[in-house]
Amino acid sequence: MIPYGRQLIEEDDIAAVVEQLRSDWLTQGPTVARFEEALCELTGARYAVAVSSGTAALHLAALAAGVRSGDTGVTSDVTFVASANCIRYAGGSPRLVDVDPRTGHISLEALRKVVAELKGQGKPPKVIVPVDFSGSAADLEGVRAIADSVGAAVIEDAAHSLGATYTARDGATRRAASCTHTQFAILSFHPVKHITTGEGGAICTNDEGAYRTLLELRTHGITKDPAKLKQVDGPWYYEQQSLGFHYRLTDLQCALGLSQAKKLGRFVARRRAIAARYDRAFSEAGFSSALRPLGQPPATVSSYHLYVIGLVQRAGETLTQVAARRRALYDGLRERGVGPQVHYIPVHRQPDFVTAGLSQGEFPGADTYYAGCLSLPMFPGMTDGDVDRVVDAVGSVLQKTS
pLDDT recorded at residue 172: 97
Q: Whole-model pTM above 0.75?
A: yes
Q: Would residue 151 count as lying in a domain?
A: yes
Domain extent at residue 39: 11-261
Q: Which residue has the higher pLDDT, 28 or 178?
A: 178
Instruction: For residue 330, say if its preceding peptide bond is cis, omega within 30 degrees of 0.
Output: no
Mean residue pLDDT across the chain? 97
Q: Note whether 251 and 269 are same-domain residues.
A: no
Mean pLDDT of 147-165: 98
Asked whether residue 201 falls in the same domain as residue 56, the answer is: yes
| Residue 206: pLDDT over 90 | yes
Give 255-295 pLDDT, tens digit per residue. Answer: 999 999 999 999 999 999 999 999 999 999 789 999 999 99
When pLDDT is cut at 50, 70 and 90, the band that residue 110 belongs to is very high
Whether residue 250 is predicted with pLDDT greater than 80 in this model: the reply is yes
3-state secondary structure of 364: helix
Residues 29 and 167 in one domain: yes
Residues 290 and 235 in one domain: no
Provide mean pLDDT across the span 71-90.
98
CA-based Rg of the chain, rounded to a whole angstrom? 22
Residues 271 and 249 both lie in one domain: no
Reduced to 3 states, what is the DSSP secondary structure of residue 365?
A: helix
Domain CATH number, residue 351: 3.90.1150.10
**Buried/exposed 109-136: b ≥16 CB within 10 Å, e otherwise:** ebbeebbeebeeeeebbbbbbbbbbbbb
pLDDT in tens, 382-395: 999 999 999 999 99
Tens of pLDDT along 44-76?
Answer: 999 999 999 999 999 999 999 999 999 999 999
When pLDDT is averaged across residues 178-203 and rounded to a whole number, the result is 98
Residues 238, 345 within the same domain: no
* 2 assigned to some structural domain: no
Count of domains for the chain:
2
92's CB contacts (< 8 A; 6+ apart) are 62, 67, 68, 69, 70, 71, 72, 73, 126, 127
Same domain, 100 and 174: yes
Is the pLDDT assigned to residue 330 strictly greater than 80? yes
216 and 271 co-located in one domain: no
* Shared domain check, 89 and 34: yes
List the CATH number of the domain containing 148: 3.40.640.10
Is 323 a residue whose pLDDT tops 90? yes
Contact 32, 251 (CB under 8 A): yes
Which pLDDT band, with edges at 50, 70 and 90, does 357 fall under?
A: very high
Query: 256 in a domain, yes or no?
Result: yes
58 and 205 in a single domain? The answer is: yes
Is the same domain home to 89 and 228? Answer: yes
Is the four-CA dihedral 206, 209, 213, 218 of positive or negative sign?
positive
Q: What is the pLDDT of residue 183?
A: 98
Task: Identify the pLDDT of residue 401.
Answer: 84
Looking at the structure, do residues 90 and 174 belong to the same domain, yes or no?
yes
